[in-house]
Amino acid sequence: MLVVHSPLCLLHDPPTEILSGKPVPYKESPDRLVRVRNALSNDPQRKYELTAVDDGLDILPDILRVHSEDYVFYLRRAYSDWVEEGGDKQGVLPESFPHPKLPPYKLDPAKMSAIARAGYYCFDLSCPITEDTFEAIMASARVAVRAAQLLVDGTQSTAAPHGIFALTRPPGHHAGTGVCGGYCYLNNAAIAVRCLQDAVPSAAAKPRVAILDIDYHHGNGSQEIFYSDDSVFYVSLHAEGDYPYFTGSSVEEGEGSGVKCNLNLPLPQHTTGNEQYLATLDLAGKAISDYSPDYLVVSLGVDTYKDDPICCFNLTTPCYSRIGARIRELGLPTLFLFEGGYCMEVLGENVKGVLDGFIGS
Ligand code: SP5
Ligand code: ZN
């Protein structure tokens, strides 16, 4: 299996975040990427072929199919504007957010101070923007774009269901059209979806894509981006009532022509283990087959693991290859993108488990 990665993804390295009111080392660390990369490159059977993305690939047009221009421009300029305004050199962090209970607002981000803009374009405190953040998030999106291109190329030349892994980091599924949060700045999975759909301009009909989001947290950003789009089916398994707290209910089923193209399958915190998870994954698989997509995009988080430091499901390591095997059974060209997972000791093993299960070994 091809694995696309970029060393530039390691550049983003904020020192701290606040968890339950307490400053702690930033959980979404560059070491996560190193762990997964090492686990794959050290595979005894050498099943994984690592390929670094070409740094020159211009992906701005791909990003702008998902994110608003003003948001991308903000991300690019946020750090320098912040420092110029006297903000701490460690990075941009918001102080205040527009709140739905405090209207009316006359919001023009172009006229705001840098610190106000930081709150306008972010929904929590876990997305600091350091001097190197923009370079890293662009590299992560570039990995997603290149992997999508390779999947399209591979699908045209082979009959067997084909899979590629995009080793994206920072992750993406919490990032919306114009907002960052939850360690996510650019929605790598959404950007990849649009690449898959636009790869063959001469195709008679726009390819249909299903996103299977198996990160522990609800992918509020992916949901928002495709909420009224019937060409993309979004299905998520996630913890009910945990972060990001305000989305992920089963009543959120899409709107307009996207009605029934959004499926949330919340699971209970603390008690969800392997068997309940796999049974729910089967429901997701059935819904994906009913939609009959041309491609499958998997938002692959392994923060469902029993000892994950910020999550509380009870999945064990052997479950991950069973998850991968079930994904393979869908028989679709599949693009995996890395999302969450914070238990460092087993991060590589668990991600590799899913991919091993997909390959069938
Ligand atoms: C990509 C990804 O996994 N982002 C997750 C960001 C989560 N940040 C907030 C974590 C809050 C942890 N609260 C602990 C509650 C345990 N039930
Ligand atoms: Zn997560």
21 alpha carbon – ligand 1 mean position (Å): 13
Q: State yes or no: pLDDT of 179 exceeds 70.
A: yes
- Beta strands of 122-180 (E only): which ranges? 163-166
Q: Which CATH class is domain 2-67+130-359?
A: alpha beta
183 alpha carbon – ligand 1 mean position (Å): 9
Token representation of residue 34: 């190193």
The closest of 197, 242, 194 to 216, measured between CA atoms, is 242
**Interatomic CA distance for residues 289 and 287, integer angstroms:** 5
Residue 112 burial by Cβ neighbours in a 10 Å radius (0-12, 13-18, 19+): middle
Atom in ligand 1 nearest the alpha carbon of residue 312: 17
282, 283, 286, 287 alpha-carbon torsion, rounded to 10°: -140
Atom in ligand 1 nearest the alpha carbon of residue 301: 3
The helix (run of H) or strand (run of E) holding residue 50 is: strand 49-52
Active-site residue, from 5, 173, 174, 238: 174
Told to judge if 270 belongs to the known catalytic residues of this protein, a careful annotator would answer: no
The region, left, alpha or beta by phi > 0 then psi within -120 to 50, assigned to residue 343 is beta
| Cα 42 off chain centre by | 25
Atom in ligand 1 nearest the alpha carbon of residue 269: 17
Cβ atoms of residues 5 and 33 within 8 Å = yes
Q: Delimit the domains of the chain by residue range.
A: 2-67+130-359, 70-120
Q: State yes or no: pLDDT of 158 exceeds 80.
A: no
> How much is the average pLDDT of 9-20?
97
> How much is the average pLDDT of 40-65?
96
Q: State yes or no: pLDDT of 166 exceeds 70.
A: yes
Q: What is the DSSP letter of 208?
A: P
**Interatomic CA distance for residues 176 and 178, integer angstroms:** 5
The ligand minimizing its distance to the Cα of 123 is: 1
Token representation of residue 62: 């791909």
Higher pLDDT, 204 or 180: 180
343 alpha carbon – ligand 2 mean position (Å): 12
Q: Which pLDDT tens digit goes with each residue over 261-313?
A: 999 999 999 999 999 999 999 999 999 999 999 999 999 999 999 999 999 99
The angle subtended at Cα 124 by Cα 123 and Cα 128, nearest 5°, is: 110
Which mutation among 122, 174, 184, 243 tests ligand 1's pocket best, with the greatest number of atoms within 8 A of CB? Answer: 243
Residues with CB under 6 Å of ligand 1 are: 19, 126, 171, 174, 182-184, 215, 217, 242-243, 269, 301, 303, 310, 312, 339-340
Q: Is 190 helix (H, G, I), strand (E, B) or coil?
A: helix
Token representation of residue 89: 């050199």
251 alpha carbon – ligand 1 mean position (Å): 22
The ligand minimizing its distance to the Cα of 303 is: 2
Neighbours of 172 (CB within 10 A): 31
186 alpha carbon – ligand 1 mean position (Å): 18
Encode burial over 234-258: b for 16+ CB neighbours within 10 A, e otherwise. Answer: bbbbbbeebbbeebbeeebebeeeb
Q: State yes or no: pLDDT of 201 exceeds 90.
A: no
For residue 331, what are the contacts with CB-CB under 8 A and spacing of at least 6? 161
Please tell me the pTM assigned to this model.
Answer: 0.98
Cβ atoms of residues 327 and 296 within 8 Å = yes
Atom in ligand 1 nearest the alpha carbon of residue 239: 17
Higher pLDDT, 64 or 158: 64
**Interatomic CA distance for residues 90 and 308, integer angstroms:** 27
The closest of 200, 146, 183 to 339, measured between CA atoms, is 183
Q: How much of the chain is in helix, strand and coil states, percent to nearest 5?
A: 40, 15, 45
Which mutation among 26, 217, 245 tests ligand 1's pocket best, with the greatest number of atoms within 8 A of CB? Answer: 217
